[in-house]
Amino acid sequence: MSSKPHIFPFSIAYADTDAGGIVYHARYIEMAERARMLWLNNKVPTNGDVGFVIRELHMKYKKPLKLADEFVIESILTDVGNASLKVEQKFIKDGEVHAIMTGSAAYIGADLKPKKISDEMLDALEWTK
């Protein structure tokens, strides 16, 4: 089971770094969120629902990114449940993985309760079983 990867290009700005020019650890979450939202917002119609909200995150830092680095965030679905999905996002520069973030998101309806992910959404996300 998998989906087609979404690729989001990114460049590190001064505001993303600490005093040593290394990307501040919390900025990875913000960058991953931008990539995830661009990917999902362009594919998934929410039909008045709140949409996908993060339930859990796990981050593994392998090698720091630095000021002016250009890289991509590769996002892919790794699992889908009735009302949730799991996403893996890799921060890749020159073919080398610098960090991996995994997380789960719940689909929330307008009533703020979990709601079944429709087959239409799964098709839009190119999820294959």
Q: Apex CA 102: angle with CA 69 and CA 97, to 5°? A: 35
Among 16, 18, 94, 123, the one annotated catalytic:
18
Beta-carbon count within 10 A of 110 CB: 11
| Strand extents, DSSP E, the chain | 6-11, 51-61, 70-80, 84-93, 96-108
18 is catalytic: yes
| Under 8 Å between Cβ of 64 and 37 | no
The catalytic residues are: 18
